[in-house]
Amino acid sequence: MGSNRAEPPRGVSALVASFIVIANMVGTGVFTSLGFQVSALPSPLAIMALWVVGGLGALAGALCYGEIGAMMPRSGGEYHYLSRIYHPAVGFLAGWVSLTVGFAAPVALATMALAAYASRLVALPHPTLMAAAVVVLISVIHSAGMKAGGRFQSLFTTAKILLILAFSALGFVLGHPQALQWAPTAASLGLMASGSFAVSLVFVSYAYSGWNASAYVAGEMARPERDLPRSLILGTAVVMGLYLLLNFVFLRAAPMSELSGQIDVGNIAARHLLGPTGASLMGGLIALGLVSTISAMTWAGPRVAQVIGEDVPILRPLAARNGGGAPYLAILLQLVLVLAMLATSSFEKILTYLGFTLALCTVLTVFGVFVLRVRSPEAPRPYRTWGYPVTPLVFLAINGWMLVYLLLHQPLQSLAGLGTILAGVPLYFLAGKKKG
């Protein structure tokens, strides 16, 4: 691909890349989804098993992406991988989704959630304006250059991890622990084999989404063939540990009957542990944590647009980088899309079908491990997927089932997701061949 392509700056360490993974994954999901799981699975053992299975699925995906990413150490994520594994058209369509809504919609949702949680600490007359100000400020920081963005990302992700650990520690020393049945019983084992467990797994898998985040910045790593697999695996493993710890604390702190069906389970647990001020403190914790989530997606998303711009002449302006190495026009494009979604609230509709589209892209990428092993068995592989072929099969089984479930039970949203992908076909042919 191109000798005309400028060499990107390479200053992202494995640790910073791991922070990008962690920040992308830990959003509002783990603080809000437990109540619905308790309703369907009234067993602490079954609920913890749910988060273990979801974590293992994410970790399997990270292990597979590690092999592919080490073979193809360039930014862009699925856009780059699917172009190389299958056909440039397939990669372009995956990139089209990322370019238009794949990152902008989750950023818009996260900024709105941040403003809502911050409102519990301080009265905000215009939460949407506050959300817009946050995303503009973060975009400016990342436009300043890779070093500024890296420091900001590391600072807020570290703060998020420390706050979660501090809250979890309080969960073990404060409040009155609930009497929970952890020993396996026929009822709890039956729940793990039930349809309710499978349905709940869909939402847990969404909470784990973002495990592939560092693949989007691989081209900026000093040693991507080594650091990309490390960041994917380390980041995903850390998040799995944090999720298990948080859900254990939630279950230990508050009665399951009180958590059942509630969306603000984090606030309920915090009230039991810290009294009347607990909910406000939890809101502040989540708001601060969302800063790092928004930052990570503001770093990763524009890198897809940048790489597409390097390959597709009609979109070449998106490849422009400033003196600090930041793809400033790509960051600006994503910022404009986010602000438009904040102004119209259209992102809520987008997110109802976005999950199917993104899951399809990751499934195609992980299946690419098999394709490359057969087609290019002698190709250099700085990292090989641990547990192959079982590891990719585990991921494909879990996510393949999710796709089938979504297609059967949410056909309109799933077909809309496919429609979003196909909308990029005319642009692909209009753009012509990627530059050589």
Find the domain containing 62 and state its range. 14-431
Residue 169 lies in a domain: yes
Residue 369 lies in a domain: yes
Residue 318 lies in a domain: yes
pLDDT at residue 9 in the model? 61
Cis status, amide bond into 88, omega within 30 of 0? no
Residue 178 lies in a domain: yes
Residue 6 lies in a domain: no
pLDDT at residue 3 in the model? 39
Q: Which residues contact 411 (CB under 8 A, 6 or more apart)?
A: none
H runs (alpha helix) in 44-145: 44-71, 78-85, 88-97, 104-118, 127-143
- Rounded CA-CA distance 209/325 in Å is 27
pLDDT at residue 4 in the model? 45
CATH number at residue 148: 1.20.1740.10
pLDDT at residue 6 in the model? 54
- Rounded CA-CA distance 139/157 in Å is 17
Which residue has tokens 């502040």? 284
Domain count, the chain: 1
Cα 320 from chain centroid (whole Å): 26
pLDDT at residue 434 in the model? 52
Q: Give pLDDT tens digits along the chain (436 positions).
A: 333 455 556 668 889 899 999 998 887 778 878 888 888 888 899 999 999 999 999 999 999 999 999 999 888 889 999 999 999 999 999 988 888 878 888 888 888 888 877 777 777 778 888 889 999 999 999 999 888 888 999 999 998 899 889 889 988 888 788 888 888 888 888 888 877 787 788 778 878 888 998 888 888 888 888 899 999 999 999 999 999 999 999 999 889 888 888 877 888 888 888 887 777 777 777 888 889 999 999 999 999 999 999 988 888 999 999 888 899 999 999 999 999 988 886 555 555 567 778 888 999 999 999 999 999 999 999 999 999 999 999 999 988 887 887 788 778 877 887 888 888 888 888 876 554 4
Residue 9 lies in a domain: no
If phi over 0 gives left and psi between -120 and 50 gives alpha, with beta otherwise, what is residue 387? Answer: left
Residue 5 lies in a domain: no
Residue 238, CA distances (Å) to 158, 167, 295, 300, 302 in order: 12, 16, 19, 19, 25
pLDDT at residue 350 in the model? 59
Structure tokens, 163: 């706050």
Residue 436 lies in a domain: no
Cα 9 from chain centroid (whole Å): 24
